[in-house]
Structure 1
Amino acid sequence: MTENAKLLGLAIATPEHVILQSEAKEMATRLFSDRYREFKPLSRVFDNAGINKRYAARPLSWFSEPHAWEDRMAAYAEVASALFIESSTKALDHAGLKASDVDCIVTVSSTGFTTPSLEARLAGQMGFRADIERVPVFGLGCAAGVSGFAIAARMAKARPGALVLFVAIELCSLAFRLDKLTKPNIIATALFGDGAAACLLRCGPGGIAEVESSGEHLFPDTLGIMGWQIDDVGFGIILEQSLPPFAEKEVGPAMASILARSGLRLSDVDRFICHPGGTKVLAALESTFGLAPESLDHEREIISEYGNMSSPTVLFVLQRAIAAGLPERSAMAALGPGFTASCVTLKRVA
């Protein structure tokens, strides 16, 4: 039987600019209240989101001016490159490894793109070998932290001994739109931040946790729940306000179905490690998984300190769960455009 991949190391990184939620609300009020009559009731989301601060690719003043694709993608290339280098280097250093030891890189991002992709642009600076395999993935959104982790684990399992670097980078702030006078845009202004995380996976001895199983569930006829509407200016958020009740009703059975493929039940999971899409979504997940209210404590801490960073957020939660001590079995879970539920189970390495 082929050995499962193990998580060897994990590191996170954020941009330098910090935006307090109070500052974001003040700016949004200044920019939108006179132009959008529904802003005042919607502005309560800034107070109810459970967010204290976030990190951003650009200072707050940058967002008060209009920006088109060229500005946004130039900022993405600059800051995403820096976060790739910082998170990957930290992960390698913590594991006592070098960039030249990496055999494969899986990079996920849905908030910007470069061609050549980030890992190719940075190969010389990082010191990756010329024969490295590259797997850049776009479009998985918030679910990519779990789905991309699963892809990286399968790559490691397919080549025992190969070291796989998984990097999740999102600069959600660069999708901020002055011209979109819509509820989803205002809500996004209150929720999303920027960050990156890097993981190292390999089959072999040691490690922090073993990747036991993985799976996804694609819900039919749900394309309108979450995604991007792309136009000449940039990304425009698609975000259904019906997501929390949908999650409460549908995600538990979907996760139970994913786990059942590996002979597991929801009750076999000692700790869920969830992507914190928002406080209402977290409450819905606690309900659908049969958890006590407020039990997803690491998730609430992360969203308070960083906001919703899309794909890397669940890895920030995983890092905190590792620091607190992983139980025997954990399940990473995330939701994303598609609409998709993704799950990876981890077993603690003794």
Structure 2
Amino acid sequence: MKSVSILSLATGTPRNVLSQSDALAAARELIGNKFQDFDRLAAVYANAGIENRQIAMPAEWYFVERSFQERTDVYLDVALDLFVEVAARALDEAKLRAEDIDAIVTVSSTGIATPSLEARAMARLPFRTDVARVPIFGLGCAGGVTGLALASKIAGAAPGRTVLFVTVELCSLALRTANADKSDLVSTALFGDGAAACIVRSGEGGFAKIEGSAEKTWNDTLDIMGWQAEPTGFGVVLNRAIPGFARREMRQAVSEMLATQGLVIGDIERFICHPGGAKVVSAIEDALALAPGALDHEREVLRDHGNMSAPTVLFVLERCRAAELPGSSALNALGPGFTASLLTLRCTA
């Protein structure tokens, strides 16, 4: 494996902004009658740490029960626009052309596209006809870290290989109004839509070197997070035990993953975490024995965008970079499986 560097990073969101107060009002109208104790359960909106999020469609679109085809049509339209937007900006920052890309890794779990998004993007960005395409579905919230790790491995397989990594998630399209349960209530309080792109290349340059990556999947945890297939599309599976699980399991998991690189938790100057929710962020701080409030950028991203699934950790990386990355840092996220993913960085800028 060759040394791999991150040359650029770009993020983007849809144009439709939904405040948390408006999200609560919409949930009350759309699914409030499904819960006898809605007012008690609605405290999750106040406790989520979110002020605004961005969504694929104007709010009124969600007030009608949508078919799987309608949701897919929106996914193909909006997700492709976001893909092209963040990919183009990542290319600009790296001072590269689309023709310079040797492989494209695309991570998305909130919609189905066949041909996949990067193939559709070729009509708008002039990628080479021999570019390698690697679309990945099913990683959920862990996809930002796992996908970037895979892109780095592909880049590191040959000198000078340049890989574009893009992750796009439109979580809002999973809203259920007909058969809503508590998972839907929590998800409408937490999730937003967004996209991120990085360009990685074997060799020197960029703002950070990728030093290593690892994953850990726990047995018998398939019911913690994921999708279940329904007539109208994806139905969310979201276990309320996630914060407790993170508090109980993350330290050992992170220690095991770092050990594969000969590192310990104390070697990492900044953990860059996927903010799954306010309680999850606090649980990670506790598990890793970080100072209260240490994950400040995580809370800021959650406040401004909500949990966008896979792209979210890259929004945090963007803020950490703007504030000046320390010498060593580690991206980490939890996702369906139930799986933890970790990637270590060395600042080179």
TM-score where L is the length of structure 2: 0.99
2:146 match: secondary structure = helix
Q: How many Å separate the matches in 2 of 1:305 and 1:134? A: 32
How many residue pairs get aligned? The number is 349
1:158 match: secondary structure = coil
Aligned to 2:102: 103
Residue 276 (1) aligns with residue 272 (2):
no
Alignment of 1:56-67 (within 5 A): 56-67=55-66
The sequence identity of aligned pairs, in percent, is 51
Aligned to 1:209: 208
Alignment of 1:221-300 (within 5 A): 221-300=220-299
Aligned to 2:122: 123
Aligned to 1:158: 157
2:124 match: secondary structure = helix
* Residue type at the aligned position of 1:100: E
Aligned to 1:179: 178
Q: 1:32: how far off?
A: 2.3
1:93-145: per-residue Cα shift (whole Å, max 9, x none)?
Answer: 11111111100000000000111001111113110001100000000000000
Q: How many Å separate the matches in 2 of 1:332 and 1:129? A: 31
CA RMSD in angstroms, aligned pairs only: 0.8
Alignment of 1:131-146 (within 5 A): 131-146=130-145
* Residue type at the aligned position of 1:156: A
Contact 2:2 2:157 survives alignment (8 Å): no
Aligned to 2:312: 313
* Residue type at the aligned position of 1:345: T
Aligned to 2:17: 18
Aligned to 1:32: 31
Q: How many Å separate the matches in 2 of 1:174 and 1:67? A: 9
Aligned to 2:43: 44
- Structure 1: 5+ residue stretches without partners: none
Q: How many Å separate the matches in 1 of 2:159 and 2:200? A: 10
Q: How many Å separate the matches in 2 of 1:151 and 1:272? A: 20
Q: How many Å separate the matches in 2 of 1:61 and 1:160? A: 50
1:227 match: secondary structure = strand
* Residue type at the aligned position of 1:174: L
1:298 match: secondary structure = helix
Q: How many Å separate the matches in 1 of 2:207 and 2:285? A: 26
Residue 334 (1) aligns with residue 340 (2):
no
Q: 1:246: how far off?
A: 0.7
* Residue type at the aligned position of 2:326: P
Q: 1:162: how far off?
A: 1.1
1:186-239: per-residue Cα shift (whole Å, max 9, x none)?
Answer: 000110000000000001221100000100000111000000011111111111
Q: How many Å separate the matches in 2 of 1:14 and 1:231? A: 27
Aligned to 2:344: 345
Q: How many Å separate the matches in 1 of 2:220 and 2:321? A: 36
Aligned to 1:168: 167
1:153-199: per-residue Cα shift (whole Å, max 9, x none)?
Answer: 00000122011000010000000110133111100011000000000
Contact 2:2 2:158 survives alignment (8 Å): no
Aligned to 1:75: 74
1:107 match: secondary structure = strand
Q: How many Å separate the matches in 2 of 1:138 and 1:8? A: 25
1:238 match: secondary structure = strand
Q: How many Å separate the matches in 2 of 1:32 and 1:74? A: 24
Q: How many Å separate the matches in 1 of 2:320 and 2:307? A: 17
Q: How many Å separate the matches in 1 of 2:147 and 2:271? A: 18
2:210 match: secondary structure = strand
Q: How many Å separate the matches in 2 of 1:101 and 1:310? A: 29
1:261-294: per-residue Cα shift (whole Å, max 9, x none)?
Answer: 1100011000000000000000000011110111
Contact 1:276 1:282 survives alignment (8 Å): yes
* Residue type at the aligned position of 1:134: R
- Structure 2: 5+ residue stretches without partners: none
Contact 2:34 2:181 survives alignment (8 Å): no
Q: 1:38: how far off?
A: 2.7
* Residue type at the aligned position of 1:262: Q
Aligned to 1:192: 191
Q: How many Å separate the matches in 2 of 1:52 and 1:123? A: 36
Q: 1:22: how far off?
A: 0.6
1:15 match: secondary structure = coil
